[in-house]
Chains A and B, each alone.
Chain A
Amino acid sequence: MIDLQNVTLTFPDGDNRITAIDHVTLRGENGVVTGITGPSGSGKSSILAVAATLIRPDSGGVLIGNGENTVDAAQLSRAEATTLRRERIGIVFQQSNLIPALTVREQVQVMARLGGSSTKARTAAIDARVDELLDAVGLIAHADKRVHQLSGGQRQRAAIARALVHQPEVLLVDEPTSALDQERGAEIMGLIARLTHERDTATLLVTHDLVHRDALDELVTIVDGRRMEPALV
């Protein structure tokens, strides 16, 4: 589960500050795809950045996990946040952001080799799941291809496999269909929904359009940094 509690985030703007997120509270439950939508500049990507621990909010809490394992990501140091991302959060970027030098299999394997206190056992466990994930996203036949040999949809599938291979509790997805046509977009959204349900992951998915609304279990609308109630569908 991920639980954003009364989160506010401001940025400097000359002598003033602009408010990107204004006291937003939202929860992403396990096994649920929670969509975050809104117009351009509404603050939905800022919410994702806060949830991903890439930026610390001015105030509010970002609770990740369940029960005793819950941590407030807003209170973590930079190093602790890095560890949290590595071990408990998966991120799918707007563009696939794959590493050109790596094959599809290696793109996924890299999650076991990001440094920190990773043990041999953890590395081996992740490696053991790589082919299973590639199979789940339909890329096992393309495992040895490099990025430039893949279509846009295949690249997003590889990115999804990379985001899930370490079995994160939270999956954060940023505009996953923005570079895809409708058919490929529908496939990717369906895949994210299926894997979220199968793996009981709490998924927050930012999208600017609602063509693939069916893949979302919940929807939150953000306008001018505030959460609209009820969500605009």
Chain B
Amino acid sequence: MSRALEWKGILVFVAWRELRFARGRFFLIGSVVALITILVGFLSGLTAGLASQNISSVLQIPGDRIVLQQPDSGTPSFATSTIGGGTVKAWEGADGVTSVTPIGITQSRAALSGTDEPVGIALYGIPTSAPDAQDNPLVQLAPASNDEVGLSKGAADDLGAAVGDTITLAGADYTVASIGADLWYSHTPVVAITPDAWSDVSARTGGTGEATALAVSGDAEWQAVGEKTGTTAETTLSSLTALEAFRSEIGSLGLMIAMLFGISALVVGAFFTVWTMQRSGDIAVLKALGATTGSLVRDSLGQALIVLVAGIGVGIAIVSGVGMLVGSALPFVVNPLTTIAPAAIMAILGLAGAAFALRSVTNADPLTALGSNR
């Protein structure tokens, strides 16, 4: 294989042989890269899993924008937002708005009828007539009748409920009409009821009974209408910052991942700096014999790339394997975003670190090969 690659200039003659010759050293640095990759991979998978348990239902809210109440001070919040009937009408009457769907979201407790083991749930009040009803897993949970509920998979599992069972919610009984997708909101599984039923539950639990968010579609002057109605209209992704738990989680986990990326670049850079300095005599000899600086740079970067690909490959394989095993027990997601993306970033940052070592290559003086005692 190496011979074929040599011809294509991908793998350079000396680099490959040095890898084999100093396999102990390269095994060690490859292992370090693999371990960092495992850390990054697990953190990425965990972050994605936690994020999914935070926002997977919010991502399914239909519409172009999610409208929340703009408080007098501070930032909008799903937890405190209240959208009154006047605000709903104002949005419905705004130019360019084609549909407005009031949605209620609150966190509550529910129990399978006949048991005394309530579980935490996120209660969505959403109409079956919401846009994208055929394809949207959140809208598909919505029941047709006020005495019915639709359970997400997580809620059904936690409650131990099946279709046709009865669950108790805020003192009232509801029949399980359907069990659908695995949707979560702020780490609690989603239970959907009709908007009217949701208003009743809200009122019974001390709420106003009014919707907490609007799903709005169309092409309106979002900011102007928002200012006029005391609301904000954000895209689905932008509105995620209105989930306090998500914001704090993603911030701290993201910082950890970023720091691991930085550590990875530093470790690889430090290793290849020392390694390249150790072989500066060989580099000077090769230059004296006529090697181009470009070929020596390719040689060094190719060497780093091989170590990185091997280390990252092993790391990602372990993350994927373990992730699939623990996926049912932990909020852990294995997908390209948690495997390929961090792997690519690791490789790029590792190469950037290795690139720091190139000064020893470009500055090596072939004159030192003459009369040198090596």
A residues whose Cβ falls under 8 Å from a Cβ of B: 45, 48-49, 52, 54-55, 79, 82-87, 89, 91, 93-95, 97, 99-102, 106, 109-111, 113-116, 120, 146, 162, 174-175
Cross-chain contact A87 with B290 (CB below 8 angstroms): yes
Cross-chain contact A95 with B373 (CB below 8 angstroms): yes
The majority secondary structure among interface residues of chain A is mixed
Set B290, B367, B369: member contacting A114, Cβ < 8 A:
B290
Cross-chain contact A101 with B22 (CB below 8 angstroms): yes
**Residues of chain A with a CB closer than 8 A to B371's CB:** 45, 93-94, 174-175
Known: A54-B366, A91-B289, A113-B6. 15 other contacts (CB 8 A): A82-B292, A84-B290, A85-B288, A91-B369, A94-B370, A94-B372, A95-B373, A101-B14, A109-B13, A113-B12, A113-B13, A114-B291, A116-B290, A120-B7, A174-B371
Set A55, A100, A115: member contacting B292, Cβ < 8 A:
A115
Cα distance, A146 to B367, chains bound together (Å): 25
Annotate B25-37 by CB proximity to A: 1 below 8 A, 0 otherwise. Answer: 0000000000000
| 29 A/B residue pairs, CB under 8 Å, sorted by A | A52-B370, A54-B369, A85-B288, A86-B289, A86-B291, A91-B369, A91-B370, A93-B369, A93-B372, A94-B370, A94-B371, A95-B373, A99-B282, A99-B286, A100-B282, A101-B17, A101-B18, A101-B21, A102-B14, A109-B13, A110-B14, A113-B6, A113-B14, A114-B292, A114-B295, A115-B291, A116-B295, A146-B21, A162-B289
**Residues of chain B with a CB closer than 8 A to A97's CB:** 281, 285, 369, 372, 374
Q: Residue of B at shortest CB range from A106?
A: B17
Q: Residue of B at shortest CB range from A163?
A: B289
Cα distance, A94 to B288, chains bound together (Å): 13
**What distance in Å separates the Cβ of B214 from its nearest Cβ neighbour in chain A?**
64
Contact A49 B367, CB 8 Å, known A100-B21, A113-B13, A114-B295: yes
Annotate B1-22 by CB proximity to A: 1 below 8 A, 0 otherwise. Answer: 0000011000011100110111
Q: Which of B271-297 contact A (CB under 8 A)?
A: 281-282, 285-292, 294-296
Cα distance, A102 to B14, chains bound together (Å): 7
**What distance in Å separates the Cβ of A39 from its nearest Cβ neighbour in chain B?**
15
Set B17, B281, B282, B287: member contacting A82, Cβ < 8 A:
B287
Cross-chain contact A115 with B367 (CB below 8 angstroms): no
Cross-chain contact A174 with B286 (CB below 8 angstroms): no
**Residues of chain B with a CB closer than 8 A to A109's CB:** 13
**Residues of chain B with a CB closer than 8 A to A89's CB:** 290
Cross-chain contact B290 with A86 (CB below 8 angstroms): yes
**What distance in Å separates the Cβ of A9 from its nearest Cβ neighbour in chain B?**
12
Cross-chain contact B289 with A95 (CB below 8 angstroms): no
**Residues of chain B with a CB closer than 8 A to A99's CB:** 14, 282, 285-286
Cross-chain contact B296 with A115 (CB below 8 angstroms): yes
Cross-chain contact A54 with B367 (CB below 8 angstroms): yes
**Residues of chain B with a CB closer than 8 A to A84's CB:** 290
Cross-chain contact A93 with B13 (CB below 8 angstroms): no
**Residues of chain B with a CB closer than 8 A to A54's CB:** 288, 366-367, 369-370
**Residues of chain B with a CB closer than 8 A to A146's CB:** 21
Cross-chain contact A110 with B290 (CB below 8 angstroms): no
**Residues of chain B with a CB closer than 8 A to A106's CB:** 13, 17
Cross-chain contact A48 with B370 (CB below 8 angstroms): yes
Cross-chain contact B286 with A114 (CB below 8 angstroms): yes
**Residues of chain B with a CB closer than 8 A to A91's CB:** 288-289, 369-370
Q: Residue of B at shortest CB range from A85?
A: B290
Contact A114 B289, CB 8 Å, known A54-B366, A109-B13: yes
* CB-CB nearest 5 A-B residue pairs: A115-B295, A86-B290, A101-B21, A115-B292, A114-B291
Q: Residue of B at shortest CB range from A146?
A: B21
**What distance in Å separates the Cβ of B27 from its nearest Cβ neighbour in chain A?**
15
Cα distance, A55 to B368, chains bound together (Å): 11
Cα distance, A97 to B6, chains bound together (Å): 23
**Residues of chain A with a CB closer than 8 A to B294's CB:** 115
**Residues of chain B with a CB closer than 8 A to A83's CB:** 290
Annotate B185-215 by CB proximity to A: 1 below 8 A, 0 otherwise. Answer: 0000000000000000000000000000000
Cα distance, A106 to B14, chains bound together (Å): 9
